[in-house]
Amino acid sequence: MKPLSQQAQAIRIKWPGFTVNISGNTLKAIGNLQPTARSLVYKVHVLYELGKKPDITLLAPKIERNFKGEMPEHLYSEERLCLYRPIYGEFKPCDLISESIIPWTSLWLYHYEVWHILGDWLGGGEHPGT
């Protein structure tokens, strides 16, 4: 398992626009991601309790329904982004957030915008029970 100090240091080095704090067992990182040069800039929030699943949410702008009135299909409760399928081990506590969670967040945001435009999610993925 990667200690929080190592996770924090990797984010600070790799993502200079992010601010990172550790308090007790929890790491908090906030930064801006713009998936394409023509996209909005999203302020994202990463909350990681050591050894648990990281929670990624959008601080601004917030998630919105698309023109069909639907919510994006890859969310957990409280509008947390579902970036990977835990049973596949795509992110494990020994992996760096800077190398996985943050790039996936930008990719998710790209597909979120395209989903707003088209009404379809083209980023693939799975749902519980499949």
Partner 1 sequence: MIYLNNRGAQIDDILDRMAESLQLGDSRYDRMKQHYEAIKSWIEKDEIFFKPFAYELYPHGSVRILTTVKPIGSDEFDLDIALHIKTNHTAHTPQRIYQELKRRLSEHETYKGMMELKKRCIRLNYSGDFHMDILPGIQEFDWDDNRLCVPDHELGRWVSSNPRGYAEWFIDKANSVKVSLLEKALRAENIPADNFRYKKPLQRGVQLIKRYRDIYFQDDDTYKTSSIILTTIAGLYYNGEESIFDTVENIVNQIRQNVNYLPSRLKILNPVNQQEDFTDKWDTEPKYYDAFKSFVIHLYGEWQELKKQHGVLTESRILKGLFGDDLFVNAQREQTTLLESYRKTQDIGISRNSGNIVKAGAVASTVVKSNTFFGEKLL
Contact residues for partner 1 (CB under 8 A)? 14-17, 32-42, 70-71, 73-76, 81-86, 88, 90-91, 98-100, 102-104, 106-111, 113-114, 116-118, 120-128
Nearer to partner 1, 50 or 75 (CB): 75
**Pairing, β 26-33 against β 19-23:** antiparallel
Tokens representing residue 81 in the block: 């982004």
How far are the Cα atoms of 57, 100, 109, 110, 112 from residue 4, in angstroms, in the given order?
19, 15, 25, 28, 29
Nearer to partner 1, 1 or 40 (CB): 40
Nearer to partner 1, 57 or 106 (CB): 106
